[in-house]
Amino acid sequence: ATPMSVAVATGIGANRGVLIKQGEALEQLSQVTHFVFDKTGTLTEGRLQVASIQCFGDMTEATLLQLAASVEQYSEHGIATAICEAAKTKSLRPLSISNFQSTPGKGVMSSVEQDTVYVGTLAWLHSLGIKLPTQYQPMLNQLETDGISCVLIAVNGRIEGMLGLVDSLRSDATETVQQLLNAGVKVTVLSGDKKAVVNAVTACLGDVTRQAEVLPKDKSDVIRALQQSGDIVAMVGDGINDSPALIQADVGIAMASGTDVSVESADVVLSHQMLSKVAEARLLAARTLRTIR
């Protein structure tokens, strides 16, 4: 590409909310063979809502929700925001906590008064020796099959209940993914969420690869593996735990609402929160590079 045509395309992109930081990114974008999308906050709105509260012991729904919100009050995850919002709606004030710890891709824990409270995935609790009574497993499976992400609440080593959270696909997700598939590039959905939830939420996206239960620290390894198999990879993320993957990718694309880190880690930044800009950016790059060849 001539410097002139790249400058023109970069200018067109900027006008349309596609900020291309460097000319080379445009060239690489035109050659991408595989687009990888983070699920939460990228393919989905990332505005989760508490859709179900289940108590397994004698705790009331209000107590369970208040306890969960107390532990989540210092977490920045979308799950935390949803739980704190739900508690607030019911006028439940968070209790003061100490020893807050967050484990990316797994959950959060802290001391609440005399109790030790965990809020997170079942797999994480299992790894800590905390078991879910078998009679609750079918309910959990059913919620997940319906596309509801479940987080469990354990108090002093006993699971007291769970919260089900829903998040909707962005309205332009299906169309964007379809456009990419039609252009002959591969699409992968990458998520830390359970397989059943990822399948349900992305069912309408068609023929994409789904990689679920990938820990934040392992997301860049997934990108590296695709590159080693010969793909030129673009990673689209919102920056919550996916900055290393954005850096590893041949082209890192960040949604502008993402964290400052994600914007720093990315080669291309999409403003306006529009996923359709991904397909638009690819088309712009492909056209620019084709004209000079």
Q: With respect to ligand ADP, which residue has the nearer C-beta, 29 or 71?
A: 71
Shortest spacing between CB 219 and ligand ADP, in angstroms: 8
Rounded to whole angstroms, how far apart are CA atoms 64 and 155? Answer: 10
Measured from the CB atom, the residue of 25 and 50 that comes closer to ligand ADP is 50
Q: Does 193 bind ligand ADP (CB under 6 A)?
A: yes
List the one residue out of 251, 255, 275, 223 whose CA is nearest residue 32: 251
Three-state DSSP class for residue 120: strand
Name the amino acid, one letter, at 133. Answer: P
Q: Residue 188, interface with ligand ADP (CB under 6 A)?
A: no
Tell me how far, at minimum, the Cβ of 110 lies from ligand ADP, in Å. Answer: 11
Q: Residue 14 CB, nearest distance to ligand ADP (Å)?
A: 28
Helix, strand or coil, per DSSP, at residue 35: strand
Looking only at the bridges linking them, the beta strands covering 149-155 and 158-166 are antiparallel
Nearest alpha carbon to residue 52 among 117, 139, 110, 154 = 139
Residue 191 in the binding site for ligand ADP (CB under 6 A): yes
- The nearest distance, CB 159 to ligand ADP, in angstroms, is 14
CB nearer ligand ADP, residue 27 or residue 218: 218
- Residue 120 binds which of ligand ADP, Mg ion, none (CB < 5-8 A, kind-dependent): ligand ADP
Which residue type is seen at 229? S
For residue 210, give the nearest of 161, 263, 147, 282 by alpha carbon. 147
List 10, 28, 30, 40, residue binding Mg ion (CB under 5 A): 40
User: Could you say which of 6, 25, 64, 79 contacts ligand ADP (CB under 6 A)?
Assistant: 79
Instruction: Build a one-symbol-per-residue string for 31-50: x at contacts with ligand ADP by CB under 6 A, - elsewhere.
Output: -------xxx----------
Q: Which residues are catalytic?
A: 38
Query: 253 has which bridge partners?
Result: 236, 268
Neighbours of 280 (CB within 10 A): 19
State the sign of the Cα–Cα–Cα–Cα dihedral 28, 185, 222, 200: positive
Residue nearest to ligand ADP (CB): 192
CA distances from 197 to 21, 164, 167, 169, 277 (A): 35, 11, 10, 12, 26
Q: Does 75 bind Mg ion (CB under 5 A)?
A: no
Q: Site for Mg ion (CB under 5 A): which residue of 162, 165, 240, 274?
A: 240
- Residue 164 binds ligand ADP, judged by CB under 6 A: no
Contact between 243 and ligand ADP by CB under 6 A: the answer reads no
Among the listed ranges 8-16, 24-32, 72-80, 90-98, the one in contact with ligand ADP (CB under 6 A) is 72-80
CA distances for 170 relative to 25, 173, 182, angstroms: 25, 5, 19
**How would you class 33 by CB atoms within 10 Å of its CB: exposed for 0-12, middle for 13-18, buried for 19 or more?**
middle
Window 82-121: residues binding ligand ADP (CB under 6 A): 105-108, 119-121
- Interaction of residue 48 with Mg ion, rule CB under 5 A: no
Q: Quick one: how far is CA 124 from the chain centroid?
A: 18
In the complex, the residues that contact Mg ion under the rule CB under 5 A are: 38, 40-41, 240
Residues near ligand ADP (CB under 6 A) are 38-40, 72, 75, 77, 79-80, 105-108, 119-121, 149, 151, 191-193, 216, 240-241
